[in-house]
A = this chain, B = another copy of it.
Amino acid sequence: MIKIAIDAMGGDFGPEPIIEGVIQALKEKKFIPILVGDKFAILSFLPQHYHDKVEIVHSSDVISMSDSSTDVLKRKESSIYKAVELVREKEAQAVVSAGHSGATMTAATLRIGRLPHISKPALATLMPSLGKNKTLVLDVGAVVECKPQNLYEFAIMGEAYAKSAMGVKNPRVGLLANGEEDSKGNDLTKETFVMLKKFDWFIGNVEGRDIFNGHVDVVVCDGFTGNILLKTSEGVASTIFAFMKKYIKTSLPATLGAMLMKRRVFTNLKKQIDYAEYGGAPLLGVDGCAIIGHGSSNAKAIKNAIFQAINYCDSNVNSAIESLLTNSDK
C-alpha cells in the first residue's frame, strides 16, 4: 500500500487540522500515513482506534514561517526535513506539507533530488476555469529568476502532468505573455517561444484572462510572475466578495436576495475558488512526489492534498515527464 509522509507540524494552525485531514482521507482511500512531528502532540489529536492505522516518526523541531528556506538543510530534526527524508530513503512514496513552502521545496529538491534532465523543479497549481477542466499554472513560486531552459522544462512537465494526472487527453500548453500575438512577450518568453514551437501541444502565447476562460489547459510562466498572478487572483476574488457583503448590508431586499442565492450560487461559487478544494500544489520535477499545501490549510485541504499525492503516484507522472524529455530531442 502507498505510504505518504505527512508533516504533522506544518501549517498555521498546528497539528489539529492536519491530523483531522488525515483521518478524513483514511475514511475514503487506502494508504498508510506516516505522521512526522511531536509524538505527544500527534497522539493527543489522534483517536485511539486510529493508532494502528498510522505510523508516527517523532521529530523535535519545527521550521517556522519566519525562518529562511535554507535553514531546513541544517535542522535535521525538523518535521519537514524528516518527512522529506522518508521519501529519499524510499520509506514513503510521497511527502505532503502545509508548512514553510520554501523550506519544503528546498528540502525536496536537494534531498530527494531532481529527475534526470530537469534543471529546476516547478510548483504547479490548479486554477478555476470555465472550461472542462481546471487550468494548471506553473511555476507559481519555486524559481523566481528563470532562464528559457527552465520555462521549456516547465512546459514539458505541465503537459505530462495534465495528461497523466489530470486526464486531459490533448492538453493545450500556452506561454503567459502580455498579448497573444507571436511577437509579444519579454526576452525570456520570446526565447522560450522559439524552443517550444516544435511541439504540437504548444498553442503559443496566452494572456492572463485565458487562464480562466477555457482556452488553455496548462499555462507556463516564471515563478515571480506566477506568484503575483496567484495572489492577484486571490485578491480580486476576495475583494469582490468584500464589496458584495458591504452592499448587501445596506438593504433589506438585498439581504433577503443573498439568502435566497446562498445555497445554489454562493456555496457552489465558493467551491470553485476555494483552495481547500484543490488540496495543494505538486512540486514537479523532483524524483518522487512532494505536495505543498497552503499555510492556512484546513482539514479538507489536507485531505485533498493527500488525494493529490495518491493520484500523483498512481498515474506515474514522473515516468511521463522523463519519457517526454527524452523524446524531445534535447
Specify which chain B residues have a CB less than 8 angstroms from the CB of A228 in the assembled complex. Answer: 176-178, 207-208, 221, 225, 228-229
- Is B239 touching A265 in the complex (CB atoms < 8 A)? no
Decide: B247 and A234 in contact? CB cutoff 8 A: no
Contact with B along A224-254 (1 / 0, CB 8 A): 1101111111111111101110011011011
Please indicate the chain B residues that have their CB under 8 angstroms from the CB of A234 in the complex. 208-209
Copies in the assembly, this chain:
2
A264 at the interface (CB under 8 A from B): yes
Residue contact B247 to A253, C-beta cutoff 8 Å: no
A193-214 with Cβ < 8 A to chain B: 207-213
Q: Verify if A15 is at the interface (C-beta below 8 Å from B).
A: no
* Most chain B CB inside 10 Å of its own CB: which residue of A228, A253, A269: A228
- Smallest beta-carbon distance A295→chain B, Å: 12
Within 8 A of B (CB), among A259-283: 259-265, 268-269, 272-273
Q: State A121–B259 Cα separation when bound (angstroms).
A: 48
User: In the complex the two chains form, is B257's CB within 8 Å of A231's CB?
Assistant: no
A141 at the interface (CB under 8 A from B): yes
Asked if A44 lies at the interface with its beta carbon under 8 angstroms from chain B, I say no
**How many A residues touch B, CB cutoff 8 Å?**
62
How close is A64's CB to chain B, nearest CB, in angstroms?
14
B residues within 8 A CB of A210?
235
Determine if A171 is an interface residue (Cβ-Cβ < 8 Å). no
| A142-181 interface code vs B (CB 8 A; 1 in, 0 out) | 0011000000000000000000000000000000111100
Residues of A whose CB lies within 8 Å of any CB of B are 128-130, 141, 144-145, 176-179, 185-187, 207-213, 221-225, 227-240, 242-244, 247-248, 250-251, 253-254, 256-265, 268-269, 272-273
19 A-B pairs besides A207-B228, A213-B239, A248-B264 with CB distance below 8 A are A128-B243, A130-B239, A145-B187, A178-B223, A208-B230, A208-B233, A208-B235, A209-B231, A209-B234, A212-B236, A225-B225, A233-B236, A247-B269, A248-B261, A250-B264, A253-B261, A257-B257, A257-B261, A260-B260
